[in-house]
Amino acid sequence: MRQVETDDEGLVRLQKLLAQSGVASRRKCEELMLAGLVEVDGEVVTRLGTKVDPRTARILVDGKRLPPVSDHVYLVLNKPRGVVSTMSDPEGRRSLGDVVADRPERLFHVGRLDTDTDGLILLTNDGDFAQRLAHPSYEMDKTYVAEVDGRVEKAVVRRLLDGVELDDGPVSVSRAKVVSTTADRSIVELVIHEGRNRIVRRMLDHVGHPVRHLTRTAIGPVVLRGLRQGQLRELTEDELGALLEAGQL
């Protein structure tokens, strides 16, 4: 959590907040305000010295959301394969709670990831954030890399892009490409919007290429960034700002 000095009423001058948040130098932040590039709660603010509440103000700088000052934590985890996407498991299987057992916060997971799939999952102690971003109406693009059986031909990629019909309804991908292929296996990267149970595995199995191994590499603007399995990092300010905007928080 970044530290921001406020007055007795909990307010801070806007250009000071921008500078302390790492947007730019104080002088540059003043120039951004004077140029009409700073918006607070839906209004462009050009008056230098304007004070805001850093915990509640919705601030955009040149169209990019600046996250509010908060005690909450927002984490990226590279979930290992075999870990259940719950904070505890009554059957005694290894869970997300076991992976982050050394964290002092009471964390929630944002959405789920199949037990036999590894990769990116978000964790936070902000319950509103977790619930909002997990809601189907705010589903963001998710990127997966799948190792599958067989040689994936261009016709299969076109079929995925056109959409396939599964038992619980149609599904299509936003983007699809074959990263590499041999006679008996292929690596495919897919970007999909929705999050139905095991949707990527079911879709690839439907087109004749069962998944051997599946990794989620990105959710919206958030990427693994070389995290080893089981490792955590905090969201960057840009990542968090983009997610807050996507969830209309």
CA separation (Å) from 156 to 44, 124, 170, 244? 48, 38, 16, 35
The single-letter DSSP state of residue 164 is: E
Residue 13 to residue 2: CA distance in whole angstroms: 16
27 CB-near residues (< 8 Å, 6+ apart): none
Q: Pairing between strand 222-223 and 211-219?
A: antiparallel
Residue 99 to residue 116: CA distance in whole angstroms: 15
Residue 135, number of CB atoms within 10 A of its CB: 11
Could you confirm whether 114 is annotated as catalytic?
Answer: yes
Per-residue tokens: 50: 């304007």
Residues paired with 13 in a beta bridge? 51
Q: Tell me if 123 sits within 8 A of 96, measured CB to CB.
A: yes
User: Helix H segments across the chain?
Assistant: 14-20, 26-34, 96-99, 127-134, 154-162, 199-206, 237-246
The single-letter DSSP state of residue 150 is: S
Q: Please choose, from the candidates 72, 171, 82, 193, the residue with its C-alpha nearest in 3D space to the C-alpha of residue 122.
A: 72
Q: Which of 41, 89, 114, 162 is catalytic?
A: 114
> Residues with catalytic annotation?
114
